[in-house]
Amino acid sequence: MSVDHRWSRTPTQWAVRTNDLAKSFGRNVAVAGLDLHVPVGAVHGLLGPNGSGKTTTLRMLLGLVHADRGQMEIFGLRVPERLPEVINRVGAIVESPKFYPSITLRRNLEILAMSLGVNRRRVTEVLLEVGLGGRGDNRFQQCSLGMKQRLAIAATLLKEPQLLIFDEPTNGLDPAGIHEIRTTMRALAEAGRTVLVSSHDLSEIEQVADSVSVIGRGRVIAEGELAEFLSGDEVNVEVEVDNNVVGSEALRRAGFRSTLVGSRLHVTRADGGRPDPRAVARTLAAVDQYPSHLVVSRATLEQAYLDLTADEHLSATQGRPTTAQPGLFGKGVVS
């Protein structure tokens, strides 16, 4: 069973936290003991491959799906029990919202505001907030997908929520639309709101998020500030050798970790330190594996993600529990 020291921190530091959250659909395990921590006032990425349990997690938070076990809190209040008290502080897009195609963006929002009991004046404010201030009179059906998605975000802002939950908001958008949504999410965080955004797209999260939870098969594999994943000191060494098995075994004995990505071994230090490219080359040469390529690069979230999911896969095949990475939001997780 996992013991998470962060679960005992003050609730006000977290917009969302979950503890040992689980959900299965029949025999299909969607979420498998998920410990999630979303800090207040930032963009937090929920990053994981398709089918890793992101949507199910968000739906459980919003009371759309019942959890099998575990606890969830939004702004320190237990949900779903206290959802009625907290729901007005939450805006979410977890499936495509419906708008009237033949009327303007402004009119669409006015109708929605009326149904929510929100003052019409708020419509102008939310249009401005998502960068649609000059587009309110455009008909919905004439808008680009990016504008439609920004309208959806504007709709979630009508109630002035402090937490926004977006499930894959850039899906299906072209680069311009993706850029618009990214800018909008950043602006929301700059205005003091918390944005919890799911994505399977590493570069997307890398560009927009302040912190991230990497999800694999329904569990949080790693969690922390993005800067921790992309630390300036962090260096990747990539090598190409004739025999990857011999090469990675020699590296392992010398205190390195290696992950095969394409034809290259990505090398890090097992103790989390910075790998010395010369030591890597020496280690490989000692077992007759002279690198045909040796590339030194700054770590990316992609690399961290590949390393982490490689570990998780190894854990599964060896039947031992996944260990989340230490140093996350300054605290360790013990499995």
Ligand X SMILES: Nc1ncnc2c1ncn2[C@@H]1O[C@H](COP(=O)(O)OP(=O)(O)OP(=O)(O)O)[C@@H](O)[C@H]1O
Residue numbers at the binding site for ligand X (CB under 6 A): 25, 28, 30, 48, 50-56, 200
Which residue is it, tokens 């010398």? 254
CB of 171 to ligand X, least distance (A): 9
Between residues 52 and 325, which has the closer beta carbon with respect to ligand X?
Answer: 52
CB of 301 to ligand X, least distance (A): 17
- CA dist., res. 44 & res. 36, Å (int): 11
- CA dist., res. 320 & res. 55, Å (int): 26
Between residues 178 and 251, which has the closer beta carbon with respect to ligand X?
Answer: 178
DSSP annotation of 132: -
Contact 267, 258 (CB under 8 A): yes
CB of 140 to ligand X, least distance (A): 26
CB of 199 to ligand X, least distance (A): 8
Between residues 105 and 324, which has the closer beta carbon with respect to ligand X?
Answer: 324
CB of 196 to ligand X, least distance (A): 13
> CB under 8 Å to 31, separation ≥6 — which residues?
21, 22, 23, 53, 56, 57, 60, 67, 218
Between residues 179 and 200, which has the closer beta carbon with respect to ligand X?
Answer: 200
Between residues 19 and 52, which has the closer beta carbon with respect to ligand X?
Answer: 52
CB of 49 to ligand X, least distance (A): 7
Between residues 64 and 279, which has the closer beta carbon with respect to ligand X?
Answer: 64
CB of 172 to ligand X, least distance (A): 13
Q: What Å distances lie between residue 3 and 11, 323, 326, 333, CA to CA?
A: 17, 11, 12, 7
Between residues 8 and 28, which has the closer beta carbon with respect to ligand X?
Answer: 28
User: What strand order describes the sheet that includes 77-79?
Assistant: 28-39, 14-25, 69-74, 77-79
Contacts 24+ apart (CB under 8 A), 133-140: 135/105, 136/104, 136/105, 136/106, 137/104, 137/105, 137/106, 138/104, 138/105, 139/101, 139/102, 139/103, 139/104, 139/105, 140/99, 140/100, 140/101, 140/102, 140/103, 140/104, 140/105, 140/108
Longest CA pairwise span in the chain (Å) = 74
Between residues 181 and 250, which has the closer beta carbon with respect to ligand X?
Answer: 181
CB of 92 to ligand X, least distance (A): 14
- CA dist., res. 35 & res. 85, Å (int): 23
- Half-sphere exposure of residue 228, counting CA atoms within 13 Å on the CB side? 18
